[in-house]
Amino acid sequence: MRYLLALATLTCLLVIVGCTTSPPTSTPAAASKAAVSPVPSPAPLVGGKVPAVDPSVHVFLWGNAATTARDLQLARDGGFHWVKQRFEWRNIEGKGKGEFEWNEPDRIVDAILRAGLRIIARVDNQPKWASSSIQWPGSGPPDNPKDWSDFLTALATRYRGRITAYEIWNEPNLDREWGGKKPDPQAYAAMLKSSYQAIKSADPQALVVSAGMSPTTDTSEHAIPDMEYIRQVYAAGARGSFDVLGVHAAGYKADPCADPGMVAQSPELTNFDPSSPDLRRVYAFRHVEDVRALMVEQGDSDKQMGVLEMGWTTDARPGSAYAWFAVDRDQQARNLVGAFQCARQMWVPWMGFMTVIYIPDPAWTQQDEQYWWSITNPDGTPRPAYTALKGLFGSST
């Protein structure tokens, strides 16, 4: 999750790495239509709808075969029904157009389904051959949009009925997630439309999820606030090109059930951000309700939303950009439980899956900022947040 926090005279770009990249694997390419091992597919969603406030967690299985079973068992035992996993374009079709490497995604999909979990596949990051960009080779849209559509068609064809949902890109309202270029809602709307057509042509039952936006107050050339960006995506005609509207639900300093208007008026809860009160509402977890109101305004009240990233950091290290809103591990646990309890009270039936960050990459250390957001340790031992959520989800089954 990446948040841009506008401070008194300085705009500071903060990076919460649901956006870290996964290393490509060295496994040999399999045949493009190789048989997939017989693993039960998930049952179809009733009416194409996600159960309300359904627990999800972001995992890091790519290149981590030794810890895959462990982490999926943690997810299942913790009461999560979904896992979010990155399927980076450059790691699957990185060698050249039509040259697919399916070994690692096959392994991951099989493992997740064997664990009885549903998949949210985050797809983004073009391979070098698809972009002339030198500075930003792996974080922006391709030169030829058809290359992207062709990749999605191949992916959705191979995993028809197996991958339940596809998240189309990540935080395109930030320049660093859009090839270093000024964010372009119209271009993203075009990407969303072509993505929807490609995925639905291959797997009509799959859910297409719009990208989670950074809840930023930055109005410079580097970013567009989430509400304005989404409004422009709608204006560009993308309303019929996604099944679920994705959102990033920021956990800052306020109580998760705090009213966004109240939070916006508090200098302490907004780090003395000089932005307008309307923009400062992003510092509240319930800013999600602002995005929901925009959906209703656009005639999309029948569609669900899905939280693609939510969490609270414990990163109080001196010099950390997150130190001003860091909490201790016990408070992190209370906030996450409170967020789900608040959602159950206020967001049913329009909120679908809610994705907690993270069951971490086993390679992360205290030098990695994502380490401080995680609900377990990299060695698989639980933190208080995991234990608390396990208790909450277990009590509701």
- Taking only the tens place, the pLDDT of each residue in 15-27 is 333 444 455 444 4
Encode pLDDT of 181-228 as tens digits: 999 999 999 999 999 999 999 999 999 999 999 999 999 999 999 999
**For the chain, what is the mean pLDDT?**
92
Q: N- to C-terminal Cα distance for the chain?
A: 29
User: What average pLDDT does range 264-279 have in this prediction?
Assistant: 98
Question: In this structure, are residues 342 and 392 in contact, taking their beta carbons and an 8 Å threshold?
Answer: no
Is residue 379 very low, low, confident or very high in pLDDT (cuts 50, 70, 90)?
very high
126, with CB counted inside 10 A (0-12, 13-18, 19+), is buried
- Write down the pLDDT at residue 218: 98
pLDDT of residue 133: 81
The pLDDT value recorded for residue 329 is 98
The ranges assigned to domains in the chain are 2-22+50-395
Q: Which residue has the tokens 């948040």?
A: 3
Look at residue 353 and tell me whether its pLDDT is greater than 90: yes
What percentage of the chain reaches a pLDDT higher than 90?
A: 85
State the pLDDT at residue 284. 98
Classify domain 2-22+50-395 by CATH number. 3.20.20.80
Token pair of 51, please?
A: 């159960």
Tens digit of pLDDT for each residue in 92-114?
999 999 999 999 999 999 999 99
- Confidence label for 37 from pLDDT (cuts 50, 70 and 90): low
Scan for tokens 């974080």, then name that residue: 139
What mean pLDDT comes out for the span 365-385?
98
Burial class of 85 by CB neighbour count within 10 A (0 to 12, 13 to 18, 19+): buried
Give the per-residue pLDDT at 190: 99
Structure confidence by residue, pLDDT tens digits, 39-82: 888 988 999 999 999 999 999 999 999 999 999 999 999 999 99
Kindly give the pairing relationship between strand 2-6 and strand 11-15: antiparallel
Q: For the chain, how many residues are written?
A: 397
308-333 pLDDT tens trace: 999 999 999 999 999 999 999 999 99
Please name the residue ranges forming H helices in the chain: 65-77, 89-92, 103-114, 145-158, 185-202, 226-235, 260-264, 277-280, 288-297, 329-346, 384-395
Q: What's the whole-number mean pLDDT along residues 32-37?
A: 47
Q: pLDDT tens for residues 109-147?
A: 999 999 999 999 999 999 999 998 876 666 899 999 999
